[in-house]
A and B are shown apart, each in its own frame.
Chain A
Amino acid sequence: MSAGTGGAAGTPAVPVSGATGAAGPGARSGEVLVSVRDLVKYYPIYGGILRRKVGDVKAVDGVSFEVRRGEVYGLVGESGCGKSTLGKTLIRLLEPTSGQASIGGEEIFAKKGNELRRLRRRMQIIFQDPVGSLNPRMPVSDIIGEGLIAQADKENRWGDRKVRDKRVEDYLEAVGLRRDYTRRYPHEFSGGQRQRIGIARALVLDPEFVVCDEPVSALDVSIQSQILNLLLDLRQAFGLTYLFIAHNLSVVQYLSDRVGVMYLGKLVEESDVAELYVRPRHPYTIALLSAVPEPDPRIRKKRLVLKGDVPSPAAPPPGCRFHTRCWLRERLGNPVECETREPLLLDIGAGHRVACHFADQVSDSLVSEVVGRQVGPGPAAGPASGAAAGPTASAAPATGPA
C-alpha cells in the first residue's frame, strides 16, 4: 500500500530507540495459542567400533515459551543454537526427547496416527531453502496439492481433483503467482517465486500456526523485501500466527512482536521487540545487536566483539553456557557463580525474561557505554537505512547533478 508515505511519517528522528513500540495487530489479544514447556531435543552421537551411543548433541535443552494468537514470535540466534531444531520439533517433524507442547489447548507431543495427521493441518512450516524444499520432479500442482490429498475428508472434499485444483490455484494467486503456473516445475521459477510456492504449500491447509524457518535468508535483498511484505499480508488475510526463525536481527526486528534469543540450546532472553532492541539485558543479546553491520555510514558504533567461537553443543560449558565468551563476567571480575550455577530465565518486569545472574547489573548506561551508537553529522537526522530515502529522496536527484 502506501509504503512510501508511511516511510515519510516514520522518517523523523527516532534516536537510539528505533523501534516504534507499536506492536502489530497480533498483540491485541493475550490468548495463548502455542505453549511449550521444558522442550528438550538431543541428537545421539554414536562412536567406537560397536557404534554405541557415546553422547548427545544437546540441540534444544529445556526451552519454555508461549506464542500468543496472531502474533509474530521471532526466534534469533547463531547457527547451531537449536532454533531450527526447536521449530521442527514443535510441529512434530522431529520427535522430542522430552517436554510438553500444546496448540490451542491440544497436546502436540503425545498424538499418534489419525489424531496426529489431523493436528498437522493446524501447524505448517516454510523452509529456508527454496530449491531444496521443492521436489524437482513434481509439478507445482502436486507440490501444493500433496498436503490436501493427505488431509482430504468428506467435509472438505480435497480428494476431488477439481476441488483440489481450484484450491491450489486460489493459493497460488494469494501468494502472488499466476493461476496457470500449476503445470510448471520448480526449476522454471526464480528463487523468490519458489519461496512463494513454499508459502502456498504451507497455507493451503489453512493452518493457524506457521513456523517460518529462515524464509528469506537465501534470497537477495530486493526479493527478500517482497517476501516479507507477503508474509505480513498473509498474516492479516488468514489470521496467522508465526514462529519466525532467523539469524538476521534487522528482519526479526521489523517483523516480530516478541523475540526470543537462543544460545546453545537455551533461551537466554525474551521480550517485546521494542524493549529487546532498546533495553537488552543479557550480555549475549547485547553483543549480538552490536555485531550487526549498520548500513548508515553516519552511525558509528562501538563494537563489542565476542571472543572465540560458540562451544560445541555436545559438551556445553557448565553453569551459564555463555560464560566462556561473556564480556560482562569479565567486567565483574569473573564471579564463580557463572561457572557453577545455571541461571534461570526470570521475569524482570513486563514480560521481559532474562537468564543471567547479573542482569540487574546491566543498565541503560552500561549498554550505551559498551555499544554506544553515535550518529554523526549528516544531511538529515532520519535513519538512512531504508526510511530516509522516502519522499525526502527528492534531495538526491536535485543535489546529484549539481
Chain B
Amino acid sequence: MSLSMAAPDPAADRPANDILLDVRDLRTYFHVMDGTVRAVDGVSFSIRRGQTLGMVGESGCGKSVTALSIMRLLDIPPAEIASGEIIFEGRDLLKLSEDEMREVRGNDIAMIFQEPMTSLNPVFTIGDQIAEAVMLHQGLSRKEAWDKAIESLRAVGINNPERRVKQYPHEMSGGMRQRVMIAMALSCDPKLLIADEPTTALDVTIQAQILELIKEVQDRTGTALLLITHDLGVVAETVHDIAVMYAGRIVERGTVEEVLLSPKHPYTEGLIRSIPSRGMRGQRLNVIKGTVPNPFNMPEGCNFAPRCPYAFEPCWTLDPRIEEADPPDVACWLYTPAPGFPAPKRGAGRVAGELSTGVRS
C-alpha cells in the first residue's frame, strides 16, 4: 500500500480519542509600535499520543509562534495570547501558573530549536545543561543526573560521551550541538517533542544524520512529534501528517500522501510546484505571484486571495475557515460552497487558469 511509503503512523493502532495535545482556536498577537500583528490567528489542531505532525509554511506564517505559544515561551507583552485553549492531557496550559508550567516544560513537552549555537549556554558544559533538567524534573542527585546525561548522549549517537559531557558548546560542530539539543530534550522522556526547524542550520549530510536520529528516537520512545519546517522534503520523510500554514492560519491538513500528492489548497499546490526538481530542466518554475501580505494590513476575505490564481467572487469578501470547511481539511471556497455565491468552476476550468501561464511578478 502506498501509505507504507511515507513515515509509518505509530499512532495508527491507538484509539482516535487518545488525544495528547488539543489546540483550539489559538490566537497569538504581538502589540508593537506600528499596530498589532496577528501572528497566529485562530489555529486549531490536535496531536494523538505517538503521532507525528509536520507543520509547514514560509517565514512569518506563524508556525514557530504556535510552538512558542504551546511552550508559553513568549514575552508577554509584547505578545498576547488573545484567545484559545491549549489542552495537554486534559489541562489547559494557558491557565497554569508559571510554576506549574515549568513542571510541564522540558518534562512533558520538550523543544528543539533551530539554532543549536544560541540555544545552548556557552558558559556551562553540556553535561551541566542536561543534568540541570534531569535534576529539576526527576529529582535525581547530581551524580545520577550526570550518568543520565552520559547515557542520553550515547543514545543520540555521540561517541565517547564520558569526554563530551565535560565539553563546552563551542568545542562542538553544529551537527553535534543539535545532537546535544536532542539528547537534552529527550532526557526526561517527554510525551511531546516539538522540533522547530531542527535541521535548517545544518548541511545536507548532517541533516540526514539528524533526521534519521529523530525518526529512530521517535520509533523507540513513542513520543509524539510536532515538526516545524519550511522544507517539504523534510516533512515527507519524517512525519505522517501535515498541516500547512499561511498568514497565521492552517489552510490545509491531511496525511503526507494526501497533501503532497494531491494538494487541494491553491497555496499548497503553488508551494509544491515551485520546488525545482528532477526532470524540470529547461522549463520555467512555477511561482506564487507576489509576497506574503503585510501583517498590519491583512486582505479582506481570504488571506491568500491576492496571490491566488483561482480567486473568484467570495474570496475577496468572505474569510474561509478550516473549522467550518466542508469537506474538512482545506480552507478554500473552491471546495466549501460559499454562502450566497454560485459554486466555483472546478476541474478543467480551474486548471487551465492562470497558474499554467506562469504568472510573473
Interface residues of A (CB under 8 A from B): 1-8, 10, 14, 18-20, 22, 24, 78-79, 176, 190, 192, 220-226, 228-229, 232, 247, 249-251, 253-255, 273, 277, 287-288, 290-300, 303, 305-306, 309-310, 376-379, 383-391, 393-401
Contact = CB atoms under 8 A, between A and B. Distances in A.
Given A221-B58, A247-B203, A20 B263 contact: no
Contact of B291 (A4, A192, A273): A192
A299 B262 CA distance: 15
B358 A1 contact: yes
Nearest to B309: A4
Contact of A222 (B270, B279, B355): B270
Nearest to A391: B351
Contact of A379 (B176, B236, B262): B262
Interface residues of B, number: 71
B288 interface: yes
B317 interface: no
B350 A378 contact: no
Nearest to A21: B281
Interface stretch (B33-41, B81-89, B130-138, B327-335): B327-335
A376 B4 CA distance: 9
Contacts of A310: 173, 203
B17 interface: no
Given A297-B6, A298-B261, A378-B2, A229 B284 contact: yes
Contacts of A309: 173, 175-176, 206
Contacts of B360: 176, 226, 229
Contacts of A299: 5
Contacts of B278: 14, 18-19, 250, 253, 277, 383, 385
A293 B283 contact: no
B277 interface: yes
Contacts of A391: 351-352, 356
Interface string B318-361: 00000000010010001100000000001110111001111011
Contact of A3 (B175, B263, B358): B358
A6 B280 CA distance: 9
B269 A386 contact: no
B49 interface: no
A291 B276 contact: no
Interface stretch (B71-79, B94-102, B225-233): B225-233
Contacts of A293: 207-208, 211, 231, 233-234, 236-238
A380 to B, nearest CB: 8
Given A291-B204, A390-B356, A394-B351, A297 B282 contact: no
A297 B281 CA distance: 22
Given A14-B279, A255-B276, A300 B270 contact: no
A3 B356 contact: yes
A221 B275 contact: yes
A366 B119 CA distance: 41
A303 B234 CA distance: 13
B313 to A, nearest CB: 17
Contacts of A295: 232-233, 236, 260, 272, 275, 277
Contacts of B355: 4
A5 B334 CA distance: 22
Closest 3 A/B residue pairs (Cβ):
A4-B356, A18-B278, A293-B233
B14 interface: no
Which of B211, B237, B256, B355 gathers the greatest number of chain A CB atoms within 10 Å? B237
B204 A249 contact: yes
A291 B208 contact: yes
Which of B237, B273, B291 gathers the greatest number of chain A CB atoms within 10 Å? B273
A250 B276 contact: yes
A400 B268 CA distance: 13
Interface in B272-305: 272-288, 291
Contacts of B141: none
B264 interface: yes
B221 interface: no
A292 B233 contact: yes
A377 B275 contact: no
B204 A250 contact: no
Given A288-B205, A293-B211, A305-B208, A226 B276 contact: no
B2 A221 contact: no
Contacts of A384: 260-261, 272
Contacts of B361: 176, 226
A10 B272 contact: no
A384 B233 CA distance: 12
B160 to A, nearest CB: 12
A376 B355 CA distance: 28
A303 B335 contact: no
B311 interface: no
B275 to A, nearest CB: 5
